[in-house]
Amino acid sequence: MSVTENIKNIHERMAAACARSGRRMEDITLVAVSKTKPVSMMQEAYETGCLDFGENKVQEIVNKKPQMPEDARFHMIGHLQTNKVGQVIDKAVLIHSVDSLHLAEKIEKEAEKREMISDILLEVNVAREESKYGMFLEDVTKNLEVISRFPHIRVKGLMTIAPNVENAEENRKFFKELYQLYVDIKSKNIDNGTMSMLSMGMTGDFEVAIEEGATLIRVGTGIFGSR
Ligand SMILES: *Cc1c(COP(=O)(O)O)cnc(C)c1O
């Protein structure tokens, strides 16, 4: 199957998940996760109307961005080392993977230097997997209270990487937990009203994530094939 056919298939499945859960397709952004894949495949995705690309390495964003049209948007979705923040901050439209207060402090410093505001998501390790980065659910509010006072950062929402499971239904409880936290934060206004994004769901579980409130889904294999 071509990238074009794969995207059409993902769109159909997104639409069906929206229909099941009373959501609108325009409220969900498909981020095409192009890590390790060539720019030629990304261009094919771009031509179908996909403008959002996810990468997990700073170097790949640095290399690919100049080769893509101006309006292609790069999302940093992988673990970000503090010493690489300066390279990516003005190239990524959104950093999904802010997993510590320390990293947020570094982003604040680099954004201030460039007189810009950086949009970020806080990564939450909802399933408490040892192999994964991310804050624990119970630490998000206290970290957010600090980060939301940083003048050069806008916390746009929350992100999680759910466990790799056979049956996507097994991840529903984790998506529900993150959605609940997201709603709590919004209702208490800890975020200064900037929170509007929930990044959850990948090739294996994006339909369940949409049913549970995702506004961004990150799909790699389902679009570009296996890595
Ligand atoms: C690789 C990756 C994805 C995409 O995974 P697929 O299963 O290929 O869809 C999504 N999110 C993150 C953070 C990733 O690193």
Per-residue pLDDT tens digits for 102-131: 999 999 999 999 999 999 999 999 999 999
- Ligand 1 proximity of 201 Cβ (cutoff 6 Å): no
Residue identifier of the C-alpha nearest atom 10 of ligand 1:
218
Per-residue pLDDT tens digits for 149-199: 999 999 999 999 999 999 999 999 999 999 999 999 999 988 888 999 999
- Ligand 1 proximity of 157 Cβ (cutoff 6 Å): no
Cα–Cα distances in angstroms (integers) from residue 142 to residues 41, 98, 124, 139, in the given order = 41, 14, 13, 6
Select from 7, 30, 36, 77 the residue to mutate for testing ligand 1; criterion: most ligand atoms less than 8 Å from CB.
77
Per-residue pLDDT tens digits for 186-199: 999 888 889 999 99
